[in-house]
Structure 1
């Protein structure tokens, strides 16, 4: 069963404080492959692996219904550095 983008966004926003969130449906609209970029203070002091495990646990029911799921997770300060490098 495909996951609706609005459902995925609501699940993320209800689980962690979100400073910035981008969700990309990479499955041409069928809802089976998503990539997210998530910025949250909740990631402060956590390694990338710990952040990804945290998100995977929070979204385990949604991820189980997808074919593919990828994520980038940042603290607000790291996201500002990420944006500066892209510019």
Structure 2
């Protein structure tokens, strides 16, 4: 199973009203077809009353195996339904890749 599909399947446990998983590996210095850099936007009532750090920990716990073995970078946008509507249903853009350890 592709990593993107695995992330989507596992995050269903948070019963999201909206879930978008984008493979952003092509924006980084990795082999074509890599699945190592992802952006996840997830809207869930499970985040109600929880601080941002707690929400990220929830997602990281669910994806702990993938984070340990497959995923190099994970950008998270975790919102309640109210926060999602305040943003008009638009996620933030990921920051540009700075090249990591690539020597120039």
TM-score surpassing 0.5?
Answer: yes
Which structure has more relative contact order (CA 8 Å, sep 6+)? It is: 1
Once residues 8 and 36 of structure 1 are traced to their aligned partners in structure 2, the CA distance between those partners, rounded to angstroms, is 9
Deviation at 1:58, TM superposition (A): 1.2
Structure 1: runs of 5+ lacking an equivalent: none
Deviation at 1:30, TM superposition (A): 1.1
The answer to whether the 8 A contact 2:47-2:79 is kept is: yes
State the secondary structure of the residue aligned to 1:83: coil
TM-score (norm: length of structure 2)? 0.73
Once residues 20 and 70 of structure 1 are traced to their aligned partners in structure 2, the CA distance between those partners, rounded to angstroms, is 16
TM-score (norm: length of structure 1)? 0.86
Q: Which residue of 1 aligns with 2:21?
A: 23
CA RMSD after TM alignment: 1.8
Higher helix share: 1
Structure 2: runs of 5+ lacking an equivalent: 27-32, 92-104
CA spacing shift, 1:61–1:82, aligned 2, 3 Å: same
Q: Which runs of 4+ in 1 moved over 6 A?
A: none
| Pairing 1:1-87 to 2, within 5 Å after superposition | 4-13=3-12, 15-28=13-26, 29-64=33-68, 65-83=70-88
Once residues 57 and 75 of structure 2 are traced to their aligned partners in structure 1, the CA distance between those partners, rounded to angstroms, is 12
